[in-house]
C-alpha cells in the first residue's frame, strides 16, 4: 500500500477532532451469515482483529432502521466508517442479505471526506449482488476454500488504497467488467472564484490523461498554455465563452490551475513582501525550479543573480518593454549548460552545434552566440559547471521574460500594477470656477484673442477624432465647444463610461468593448473628466 499523500507521525496533538486528515489504513467487507452471524468476508490489509470486530459487530451489521446510513465507530485506536445495506429477497436464508463496506482509519483522523467514496463503493457492491449475486455466492465459495474472491478483492482494494491515498486522491478500476471511478472531493474547498474573460489560466499540476475529462474540457485543455486568456481560448477552441469559464471554474475547484493577469509588454509589475522570504531565503530546490522554469531553452540554465536582478528591476513607472530593451544590452552572468545524452537519442541531434542553432532559431530576436563547453563524462545527464562565451550574450538570450513574469505571479513573488479609469462628474459650480480662472489667466497674460489656450480641454479630441482648434473671441466659447464635444462623445459611449468607476481595469474594459490599450489610453488621457488610478 502506498501512502504518498500522508505520512504517519507521532507528533503530539493528534486527537479526535483535531481536524487533520489521515489515510485509509484498510478496507473490509462484512456480512451477516445465517449461521455464523456477523463476520468479515475479506479485509486488506489485515488491521481489524476478530476480537475487535466482535466487540463492535452490532454497529457493523446494525438493525433494519439503521440501514443505508453512514456510521462511524471509534474502537481501540481505530476509526471504522461503514455504510450498511440490506437487500430483501426470498431467495436468501433469512429473506434478506445484510452486508457492510467499511474503511478503517486512525482514531484521530478526519474522515468526512471519505463518506461519498464509501457510499459509492458500497452501492457498487450492491449492484454486483443484485445482478450476479457476487457477495452471497462468492462468500460461500471463499468459506469453502476457494481463493477467487480473495484474489479479486485484494487487487481491487490495493488499487483503491493506492489511488485514494495518493496525490491525485482518485482511482479508476475495472471489476467484473464494470468500471468503478472514485475520487475524494475535499469538503473544505469553497466555491471557485469567478473567472474573468481577460485573465489567463495556468496549470499548476498534472491533469493526467485528457480522456478522463468531459468533452468540453478536453477541447479547451490544449489551448491552456499559460499565455492565452479566457476569451482567446474560447475563440481558438470554438467553444462558447460561458462554457469555457465553467470548465475553468471546475479546474480551479480542484486546484489544478491558477488565474493570472494577461501578459503584455506595456504592463508594470512590482515585487511583493513575500519575494524575500519565498525566493531569497528559500531552499535550493525552489531556486532551481525557478531557474529551470524561466530558462529560454532547456539546454542553458541562467544564473540566479540575473533572475533576481530582473525581478528587482520591476517597479512602478517601468514597463516590461523598457526592461526588455535594457536587459538586451546587459551581459549575462556565467550560466550552466545542461546536456542530456540518452542512448535513445542520436549524438548529432544533441551536439553542440545543433544546440546553438536550435537556441538561435527559437530566440531570433535575441540571437545567442556559440558556447564552448567541456563534457566531463558520457553519463545519462551531464552538467557543465561553467560556460565561457566567445562573444557578448545578453541576459534575455538565456532568460525568457514572459516565463519570468509568469513564475513570479504564480508564486506571489510579484504583482501587476493595473490601471483603473474613473469618470469624475463635475458640478456646475466647479466648472464655472474653472472657467472664471481661465478667463482671468488669459486677460493677465495679454496675449490677445487669437492665441490658442494650452489646457486639457483644448487638446481634447472631438467626435470625429481630430483635435479641437479654438477660434478668437470670448474665452468661454472654446471651453464650451470642447465641453459639448465631450458630452456628445460620452452619450455615444454610455456603456464605456459606465465602466469608468474605479473597479474595472483597463484589460477588462478593452476586452468588453473591443478597444486596444492605445485607443483606450487616448480616450482617458484626452477626456479632462477621466482620471487614471494605478493600484
Contact 280, 317 (CB under 8 A): no
- pLDDT above 50 (res 244): yes
- Residue burial 118-154, b: 16+ Cβ < 10 Å; e: rest: beebbebbbebbeeeebbbebbeebeeeeeebeeebe
The stretch 104-124 carries a mean pLDDT of 90
Residue 228 has which C-alpha cell?
Answer: 492565452
State how far the Cα of 10 lies from the Cα of 152, in Å rounded to an integer.
Answer: 34
**Which has the higher per-residue pLDDT, 151 or 341?**
151
176-224: per-residue pLDDT in tens? Answer: 888 999 988 765 556 778 888 889 999 998 887 888 788 899 999 999 9
- pLDDT above 90 (res 371): no
What percent of the chain lies above the pLDDT cut of 70? 72
Q: What is the pLDDT of residue 375?
A: 36
- β-bridge pairing 71-75 and 78-88: antiparallel
Q: What is the pLDDT of residue 335?
A: 55
DSSP-based three-state secondary structure for 178: strand
State how far the Cα of 5 lies from the Cα of 10, in Å rounded to an integer.
Answer: 17
State how far the Cα of 36 lies from the Cα of 28, in Å rounded to an integer.
Answer: 18
- Residue burial 58-97, b: 16+ Cβ < 10 Å; e: rest: ebbbbeeeebeebeeeeeeebbbbbbbbbbeeeeeeeeeb
Residue 225 has which C-alpha cell?
Answer: 498554455
8-17, 291-300, 367-376: lowest mean pLDDT where?
367-376
pLDDT grade for 64, boundaries at 50, 70 and 90: confident
The stretch 130-150 carries a mean pLDDT of 72
Residue 515 has which C-alpha cell?
Answer: 478597444
State how far the Cα of 352 lies from the Cα of 339, in Å rounded to an integer.
Answer: 9
Phi and psi, residue 371, nearest 5°: -115, 130
Sequence-separated (6 or more) residues with CB below 8 Å from residue 222 = 237
DSSP state of 499: T
Q: What is the pLDDT of residue 19?
A: 66
State how far the Cα of 87 lies from the Cα of 96, in Å rounded to an integer.
Answer: 5
Contact 42, 90 (CB under 8 A): no
Q: What is the pLDDT of residue 243?
A: 92
State how far the Cα of 433 lies from the Cα of 133, in Å rounded to an integer.
Answer: 91
- pLDDT above 60 (res 368): no
DSSP-based three-state secondary structure for 136: helix
**Which has the higher per-residue pLDDT, 159 or 461?**
159
**Which has the higher per-residue pLDDT, 456 or 194?**
194
Q: What is the pLDDT of residue 362?
A: 34
**Which has the higher per-residue pLDDT, 391 or 414?**
414
The stretch 141-166 carries a mean pLDDT of 80
Q: What is the pLDDT of residue 470?
A: 40
Contact 43, 23 (CB under 8 A): no
Contact 204, 260 (CB under 8 A): no
Q: What is the H or E stretch that residue 72 is in? A: strand 71-75
Contact 93, 107 (CB under 8 A): no
**Which has the higher per-residue pLDDT, 149 or 284?**
284
State how far the Cα of 317 lies from the Cα of 244, in Å rounded to an integer.
Answer: 34
State how far the Cα of 151 lies from the Cα of 113, in Å rounded to an integer.
Answer: 28
Residue 134: name the closest of 161, 156, 119, 104 by CA.
156
Q: What is the pLDDT of residue 451?
A: 38
Q: How many Å separate Cα 95 from the centre of its chain?
A: 53
Residue 378 has which C-alpha cell?
Answer: 558520457
Q: What is the pLDDT of residue 429?
A: 41
407-429: per-residue pLDDT in tens? Answer: 999 999 999 998 889 888 754 44
The stretch 67-94 carries a mean pLDDT of 89
194-to-10, 101, 242, 244 alpha-carbon distances in Å = 41, 39, 11, 12
Q: Say how many C-beta atoms besides its own lie within 10 A of residue 497's C-beta.
A: 19
Contact 237, 223 (CB under 8 A): yes
Average pLDDT, the chain: 76
State how far the Cα of 464 lies from the Cα of 338, in Å rounded to an integer.
Answer: 58
pLDDT grade for 527, boundaries at 50, 70 and 90: confident
Q: What is the pLDDT of residue 413?
A: 93
Stated pTM of the model: 0.53
Contact 197, 231 (CB under 8 A): yes
Sequence-separated (6 or more) residues with CB below 8 Å from residue 344 = none
The stretch 432-458 carries a mean pLDDT of 43
87-101: per-residue pLDDT in tens? Answer: 988 888 888 899 999
- pLDDT above 80 (res 516): yes
Q: What is the pLDDT of residue 169?
A: 87
- pLDDT above 50 (res 507): yes
The stretch 336-360 carries a mean pLDDT of 38
Amino acid at each position: 500500500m502506498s501512502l504518498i499523500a500522508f505520512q504517519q507521525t507521532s507528533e503530539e496533538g493528534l486527537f479526535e477532532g483535531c481536524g487533520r486528515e489521515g489515510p485509509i489504513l484498510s478496507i473490509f467487507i462484512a456480512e451477516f451469515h445465517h449461521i455464523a452471524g456477523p463476520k468479515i468476508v475479506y479485509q486488506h490489509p489485515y488491521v481489524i482483529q476478530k476480537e475487535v470486530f466482535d466487540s463492535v459487530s452490532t454497529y457493523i451489521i446494525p438493525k433494519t432502521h439503521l440501514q443505508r446510513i453512514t456510521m462511524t465507530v471509534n474502537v481501540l485506536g481505530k476509526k471504522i466508517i461503514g455504510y450498511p445495506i440490506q437487500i430483501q429477497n426470498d431467495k436468501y436464508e433469512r429473506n434478506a442479505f445484510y452486508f457492510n463496506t467499511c474503511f478503517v482509519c486512525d482514531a484521530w483522523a478526519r474522515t468526512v471526506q471519505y463518506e461519498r467514496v464509501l457510499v459509492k463503493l458500497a452501492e457498487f457492491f450492491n449492484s454486483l449482488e443484485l445482478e450476479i449475486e457476487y457477495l452471497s455466492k462468492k462468500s460461500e465459495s471463499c468459506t469453502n476454500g476457494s481463493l477467487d474472491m480473495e484474489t479479486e478483492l485484494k487487487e481491487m482494494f490495493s488499487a483503491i488504497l493506492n489511488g485514494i491515498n495518493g496525490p491525485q486522491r482518485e482511482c479508476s478500476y475495472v471489476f467484473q467488467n464494470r468500471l468503478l471511478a472514485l475520487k475524494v472531493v475535499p469538503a473544505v474547498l469553497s466555491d471557485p472564484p469567478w473567472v474573468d474573460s481577460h485573465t489567463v489560466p495556468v496549470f499548476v499540476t498534472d491533469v493526467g490523461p485528457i480522456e478522463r475529462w468531459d468533452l468540453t474540457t478536453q477541447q479547451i485543455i490544449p489551448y491552456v498554455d499559460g499565455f492565452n486568456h479566457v476569451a482567446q481560448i474560447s475563440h481558438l477552441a470554438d467553444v462558447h465563452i460561458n462554457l469555457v469559464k465553467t470548465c475553468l471554474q471546475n479546474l480551479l475547484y480542484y486546484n489544478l490551475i491558477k488565474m493570472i493577469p494577461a501578459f503584455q509588454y506595456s504592463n508594470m509589475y512590482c515585487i511583493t513582501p513575500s519575494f524575500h522570504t519565498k525566493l531569497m531565503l528559500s531552499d535550493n530546490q525552489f531556486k532551481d525550479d525557478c531557474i529551470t522554469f524561466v530558462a529560454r531553452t532547456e539546454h542553458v540554465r541562467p544564473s540566479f543573480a540575473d533572475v533576481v536582478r530582473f525581478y528587482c528591476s520591476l517597479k512602478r513607472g517601468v514597463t516590461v518593454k523598457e526592461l526588455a530593451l535594457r536587459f538586451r544590452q546587459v551581459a549575462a552572468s556565467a550560466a550552466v549548460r545542461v546536456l542530456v545524452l540518452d542512448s535513445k537519442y542520436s549524438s548529432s541531434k544533441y551536439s553542440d552545434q545543433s544546440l546553438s542553432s536550435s537556441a538561435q532559431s527559437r530566440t531570433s530576436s535575441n540571437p545567442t552566440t556559440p558556447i564552448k563547453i567541456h563534457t566531463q563524462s558520457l553519463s545519462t545527464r551531464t552538467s557543465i559547471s561553467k560556460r565561457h562565451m566567445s562573444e557578448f550574450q545578453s541576459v534575455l538570450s538565456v532568460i525568457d521574460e514572459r516565463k519570468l513574469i509568469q513564475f513570479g505571479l504564480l508564486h506571489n513573488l510579484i504583482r501587476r500594477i493595473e490601471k483603473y479609469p474613473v469618470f469624475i462628474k463635475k458640478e456646475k459650480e466647479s466648472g464655472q470656477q474653472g472657467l472664471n480662472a481661465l478667463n482671468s489667466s488669459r486677460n493677465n497674460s495679454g496675449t490677445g484673442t487669437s492665441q490658442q489656450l494650452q489646457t486639457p480641454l483644448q487638446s481634447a479630441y472631438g467626435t470625429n477624432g481630430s483635435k479641437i482648434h479654438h477660434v478668437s473671441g470670448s474665452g468661454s466659447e472654446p471651453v464650451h465647444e470642447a465641453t459639448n464635444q465631450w458630452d456628445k462623445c460620452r452619450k455615444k459611449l454610455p456603456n464605456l463610461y459606465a465602466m469608468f468607476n474605479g473597479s474595472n481595469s483597463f484589460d477588462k474594459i478593452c476586452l468588453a468593448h473591443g478597444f486596444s490599450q492605445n485607443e483606450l489610453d487616448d480616450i482617458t488621457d484626452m477626456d479632462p473628466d477621466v482620471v487614471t488610478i494605478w493600484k
